[in-house]
Structure 1
Amino acid sequence: MKIRQIRNATLVIEYGGVKFLVDPWLAPKDSMPAFPGGANPHLRQPTTPLPASIEEIVDVEAVILTHVHSDHWDHTAAEHIPADMPIFVQHGADKTLVSQAGSIDLDNGPHMRFVEGKSFNDVRVLTGNPQFKGVKLKKVPGQHGSDEALELAYDGLQEVCGLVFSHPAEKTLYLAGDTVWNEYVEANIRQYKPDVIIVNAGDAQAPGLGSIIMNNEDVCLVCAAAPSATIIASHLEAAHHALNTRAELRRHLTEAGLLDRVLIPADGETCTV
């Protein structure tokens, strides 16, 4: 498989002969304000530019959305992705929104935004372990923060999912999505025994709620739970509230003796595993 880091959680995954675009955040650099209540509210985002043209990025066979927060599915992506593109979403509510070419903008509080005159005609729900051109996609649970964070801020954090990819000619791939280390991630690793795991490791912070995606310690726990797997770290250095950096993650993994287990691609870089 080939996994190209685009920016933030946006990836192009070539798996089983199929090219998937995951969680496209395609807005121009500095075009969006900070999310309300997030760390570093003075920053605009995305804080980095795209490493390739939008036309190149959307030249895929299907799109996968782990959820529809606007740093994973934004108005720019909805504008540029073809209307007949197959798009996989986690549940019916996301299907309704995406079918109408809608996204959830989080600036100034969550609100829906739609591409006028456009709709997507092939939005598919991941329930039922669908196959796409021979690639099986298994939706698995994650949680966008601790139990306490979800209790306090569910309306903002909402539901997320991960995915397990399988194909007879490929290693098993687990895309964890926007989750912290928890019993769901541990159970997913134990059940599916993935050979490759993509983790969102930017330690995004919401004041008063703590980490809402994985931090350095969480990445180490993933390494311990899957000692034979290759780990790929994504969702770094593009969102204002994601406090971890590639350099800091490398330092932490070096001290833990785990740097040889984790790939930390730069924006635009491709990992072949």
Structure 2
Amino acid sequence: MAICTSVSATTTAPVSPQYHDGKFRNPVPMHKASLGDMAKLWWIFLFDKPSGTTPQQAVPVQPLTRAALLAAPDNTLYRLGHSTMLIKLAGAFYLTDPVFSERASPVQWFGPARFHAPPISIDELPPIKAVILSHDHYDHLDHAAVKALAAKTTVFLAPLGVGDRLIDWGIDAAKVRQFDWWQSAEIDGVRFVATPAQHFSGRGPHDTNSTLWASWVIQHANLRLFFSGDTGYFKGFKEIGAKYGPFDVALLETGAYDKRWPDIHMQPEETLQAFVDLNAGWLLPMHNGTFDLGLHRWQEPFDRIEKLADERGIKLATPEMGEALDLTAPHAGGRWWHGLK
């Protein structure tokens, strides 16, 4: 396997334009909620959530097997849940933001629980060429999943500092590559570029923004994909589109948004504008349908982005969890959430 990258495995003292005064920072200052506002939000999340934020009926899932994945054609994507995507390129498998645990939480007895089981277990997955990580929040970086994936994964691609977490968890440092924005690596003909995002990081009260966050460009032959990770809307989408577009498919966060945290998650209207900025052909909304992380109805992100895409004539792909999506000729999907409570 050929891995070409200019980035070292460990980064104990980050040297980055994004790193100032011991923290990673967005180029544009973010809105900072007061302690009172934060207390109110936590009260709402814990004791006063609106109805409809979790489904009352089973979310449809198409089960996957290792044999079916190995037999699948190249350039196929499977949505496993939330922002976890399994992508087959050039006969190998690549996995984004793997979360397989029951809860997106530091503990498994409390916190946001899954709406559905993953379409396939980690044990059943075929060998993974690379795991691609966007940041270290619990709904994107699952400690148990990373540990379980370690033996079958060739390399972990992570923003600065996130790779150090993996090494601290026991992942072989030789398997870890860390990236600042605009740095890239090539793995067996597949190119990965860590691109900007507007978000934040941390897994506890004392490590906020100690690691970097990123989106990713994925290129192989004539195929170009964009994976947003988590992000608010920002002018960087236009720069990414100008440098690396047009994209065949843009996987863009559409969920867990709220007007009270406008900088770090996009409203569906902003997701659509990001898609336009990126100059992409198909939009696949993610960061929805698996965990209760917002204050909106669980179907709302799908309903709103569907309406906006229909009004603008934008091609929208909404595959079921586990459903195969041909990245060279995507299909719309069955709008599976319609009619579910």
TM-score range, shorter chain: 0.7 to 0.9
| Structure 1 residues 59-87: Cα deviation after superposition (integer angstroms, max 9, x where no partner) | 42211111111111112212311346311
Partner residue of 1:182?
234
Partner residue of 2:85?
11
Q: Tell me the TM-score normalized by structure 1.
A: 0.76
Structure 2 residues without counterparts, runs of 5 or longer: 1-74, 201-205, 328-341
8 Å contact 1:220–1:258 — kept in the other structure? no
In 2, Cα distance between equivalents of 1:204 and 1:251:
12
In 1, Cα distance between equivalents of 2:109 and 2:199:
22
Aligned length: 238
Partner residue of 1:40?
none
In 1, Cα distance between equivalents of 2:231 and 2:301:
20
In 2, Cα distance between equivalents of 1:244 and 1:234:
15
In 1, Cα distance between equivalents of 2:302 and 2:218:
26
| Distance verdict in 2 for CA 1:66–1:25, change over 3 Å | same
1:139 lines up with 2:194 in the alignment: yes
In 2, Cα distance between equivalents of 1:181 and 1:24:
23
Deviates more, 1:213-222 or 1:61-70: 213-222
**Superposed displacement of residue 252, structure 1:** 4.4
| Distance verdict in 2 for CA 1:185–1:227, change over 3 Å | closer
8 Å contact 1:18–1:133 — kept in the other structure? no
| Structure 1 residues 171-191: Cα deviation after superposition (integer angstroms, max 9, x where no partner) | 211111111221112221232
8 Å contact 1:176–1:185 — kept in the other structure? no
Partner residue of 2:94?
20
| Distance verdict in 2 for CA 1:253–1:59, change over 3 Å | same
Partner residue of 1:224?
276
Partner residue of 2:135?
67
**Superposed displacement of residue 130, structure 1:** 0.9
Superposed CA RMSD: 2.8
Larger radius of gyration: 2
Partner residue of 1:124?
177
Give 1:198-237 correspondences, 5 Å limit: 198-205=251-258, 208-210=260-262, 212-226=264-278, 229-237=281-289
User: What residue identity is the alignment partner of 2:179?
Assistant: L
Deviates more, 1:186-195 or 1:153-162: 153-162
Partner residue of 1:105?
none
| Distance verdict in 2 for CA 1:220–1:60, change over 3 Å | same
User: What residue identity is the alignment partner of 2:92?
Assistant: V
In 1, Cα distance between equivalents of 2:109 and 2:270:
29
In 1, Cα distance between equivalents of 2:254 and 2:125:
22
**SS of equivalent to 2:123:** helix
User: What residue identity is the alignment partner of 1:131?
Assistant: E
8 Å contact 1:201–1:235 — kept in the other structure? yes
**Superposed displacement of residue 29, structure 1:** 5.3
Partner residue of 2:45?
none
Partner residue of 2:213?
160
| Distance verdict in 2 for CA 1:94–1:223, change over 3 Å | closer
Among 246, 257, 265, which residue is 2:319 paired with?
265
User: What residue identity is the alignment partner of 2:266?
Assistant: M
**SS of equivalent to 1:219:** helix
8 Å contact 2:283–2:314 — kept in the other structure? no
Q: Tell me the TM-score normalized by structure 2.
A: 0.62
User: What residue identity is the alignment partner of 1:71?
Assistant: D
In 2, Cα distance between equivalents of 1:17 and 1:237:
29
